[in-house]
Amino acid sequence: MNLLQRLASLFQRGRVTQGQSPSTNIDFMGTSITGSAGYEFSSAEGTLGCAAVLACVRNISETMAALPLHLYKRAGERTKEKASDHPLYKVLSIAPNPEMTAFEAKEIMLAQCLVRGNSYWEKVKNKYGQVMELWPMWADRVTPTRDTITNQIVYGIEINGKWFQLSADRVLHIRGFSSRGLIGLVYPSVVKDAIGMTKAQEEYAGKFYKNDATPSGHYKHPLSLSDEGVKRFRGEMEKMHGGLAGKHRFGILEEGMTFEVAGISPKDSELIAGRQFQLSDIARIFRIPPHKIQDLSRATFSNIEEQSIEWVVDTLSPWAARIESRLNFSCLAEDEQEEFFTKFALEGLLRGNSAARSAFYREMFNVGAFSINDIRELEDLDEIGEAGDVHFVPMNIAPVERALEPPKPPPAPIIAPSQELEPDSEEEPESDEEEPDGEPVRSILDPIIRDTAERIARADTREVAKILARAGGVGPRHEELMRAHEAEFPDVAVRLTQALRDAVVLATQGGNGNG
């Protein structure tokens, strides 16, 4: 590209990807890849013909694409809210452009990073510099370089035989694992031997079973055959016995010919064990638990859930952080980066089974961390209104500050008021001492009485609600259960009033001078 073309591309304002033609051919333009096993791939995308590689790429890209990705606004030091009024919110959560959905965009983004090591997207901005659209660019046709004049990164892209150059502020570049920083490493090129070995074993197994799992061999004739005779005999045998349709047919050997096996058995070649190892090898490259690509040889009921959580923490979380940080850096203006940020919602994948979720929600609700609406939102249920936003804490738990306070001194001895004599009792001799005031006793007993009454009422209310739910409404069954409850409830009331009785005894003893 000459200098004029270079300058024209730098000042170009139209979308260059507008002329990018769609293609269904996975063998895009690129350098071929040859592994040590001798298997050659026409390009990095050609490695998707290996079943294990395709399974790994699909698992990561489709799982990440299914996760919600939202733009948030910091509403306080510890609070956030969805920034649905920002143009980037629609780009990330609904559709990056008029031709694809958010799911498809995230899937392409991850697939390009996994196969090509890089994902390139052209940004279309409004007059305020905000990203309005994102358009994918073929990763194999983009070349990032550093401009020798400006010392800035520029991106050259070849589209339909024409060369364009875009400045860094017009390109969203998500890099995969990299050892240099400018571009990500192409996984298939780095691990070509492992992928080539896997594909070679797939082809070997295919050919092996195409021949009915029968090793090859040769026919032996006591005399010599002419070239024409050999050609005719081979053609007849392949026509008669080749392929699955020709298996298990009777063969007739003439003129003293014999057949000798010239191959090794699958057991000797350890075909199955070799393919099993290659599956684990490919999964290791992409950091995927083997059970995610249907290798269940080491999966058990006790460890499968833990492996699924490890899959989220060790595999998906790094990809989420990589994409989030690049979106924040490249798609938000510098003055917006303190206020806005992007975030994948990984919580749904970490929920575990229903029993584990119930225990987790219960603990978070009991300590006041979650409200009812918080739990319903995590379970993808509708809110129940403002009442569901209230946070509850146990009444028997005090703040840390109160726990650190020094203990209060014990109260002064309580002197009970003099007891009135019964009408038929003998009169006590009068005493010169003044009758003690009953206010201290009342101040101690009143809170205990109120607390006891509330506890009795709560216990009765809970039990009545249970009875109503168990009976399915008011009716004969409800009346039967209520009679049983009324018969048993006095015992409950006795247990609940024990503290009150103890306080009365203590006050009485203090009044009699026996305390």
- What type of residue sits at position 124? V
Are 225 and 179 in a shared domain?
A: no
Of residues 360 and 266, more confidently modeled: 360
Question: Quick check: 128 pLDDT over 70?
Answer: yes
pLDDT-derived band at 43, boundaries 50, 70, 90: low
For residue 135, the SS3 value is strand
Residue 382: pLDDT above 70? yes
Q: Are residues 33 and 110 in the same domain?
A: yes
Q: Do residues 358 and 451 share a domain?
A: no
Q: CATH number for the domain including 104? A: 3.40.140.120
pLDDT level of residue 170 (50, 70, 90 thresholds): very high
Are 84 and 55 within one domain?
yes
More confident residue, 370 or 255: 370
Strands 217-220 and 33-34: unpaired
What is the residue type of 119? Answer: S
- Tally of domains in the chain: 4
Two tokens, residue 36: 């040590």
Q: Are 257 and 217 in contact (CB under 8 A)?
A: no
CB distance 283 to 295 below 8 Å:
yes
Alpha carbons 258 and 496: distance in angstroms, whole number: 99
Assess if residue 319 is contained within a domain. yes
Mean pLDDT of 405-412: 59
Same-domain check for residues 181 and 327: yes
Q: Tell me which of 479 and 322 has the higher pLDDT.
A: 322
Q: Could you tell me if 130 and 150 lie in one domain?
A: yes
- Other beta carbons within 10 Å of 427: 6
Per-residue model confidence as pLDDT tens digits over 274-301? 666 677 788 888 888 888 877 777 666 6
Q: What is the average per-residue pLDDT within 459-480?
A: 72
Tokens of 90: 């629609």
Within a domain: 381: yes
Q: Indicate whether 47 and 147 sit together in one domain.
A: yes
Domain end (from 262, 282, 299): 262
- What average pLDDT is seen over the chain? 74
Q: What whole-number percentage of the chain has pLDDT above 90? A: 20
Q: Which residues are 384's β-sheet partners?
A: none
Q: Please determine, for residue 513, whether its predicted confidence score (pLDDT) is greater than 70.
A: no
Residue 97 and residue 229 in one domain: no
**Residues 411-423 pLDDT 10s:** 555 555 554 445 5
Q: Does 159 map to a domain? A: yes
End-to-end Cα spacing for the chain = 105
- Collapsing DSSP to helix, strand or coil, 231 comes out as helix
What are the tens digits of pLDDT across the range 183-211? Answer: 888 877 767 667 777 677 677 666 666 65
pLDDT of residue 108: 94
Q: Are residues 30 and 60 in the same domain?
A: yes
CA dist 175 and 158 (Å) reads 20
Phi (first) and psi of residue 175, to 5 degrees: -95, 140
Q: Please report whether residue 383 resides in a domain.
A: yes
pLDDT of residue 336: 92
137 vs 496: which has the higher pLDDT: 137
- Structural domain contains residue 502: yes
In terms of domains, do 321 and 238 share one? no
Q: Do 131 and 244 sit in the same domain of this protein?
A: no
Report whether 494 contacts 439 (CB < 8 A): no
Residue 149: both structure tokens together: 């004049």
Give the whole-angstrom CA distance, residue 142 versus residue 424. Answer: 110
pLDDT classification of 9: cutoffs 50, 70, 90 = very low
Question: What pLDDT was estimated at residue 31?
Answer: 47
Same domain, yes or no: 74 and 182:
yes
Q: How many CB atoms within 10 Å of residue 460?
A: 16
Per-residue confidence band for 368, with pLDDT thresholds at 50, 70 and 90: confident
The confidence score (pLDDT) of residue 12 equals 45
Of 296, 322, 344, the position where a domain reaches its end is: 344
What pLDDT is recorded for position 428? Answer: 53
Residue 272 belongs to a domain: no
pLDDT-based confidence at 389, cuts 50/70/90?
A: confident
CB 41 within 8 A of CB 19: no
With respect to residue 301, please indicate whether it lies within any of the assigned structural domains. no
Any idea what DSSP says for residue 40?
Answer: E
User: 375 versus 455: which is more confidently predicted?
Assistant: 375
Determine the structural domain holding residue 375 and report its residue range.
351-408
Determine, yes or no, domain membership for 17: yes
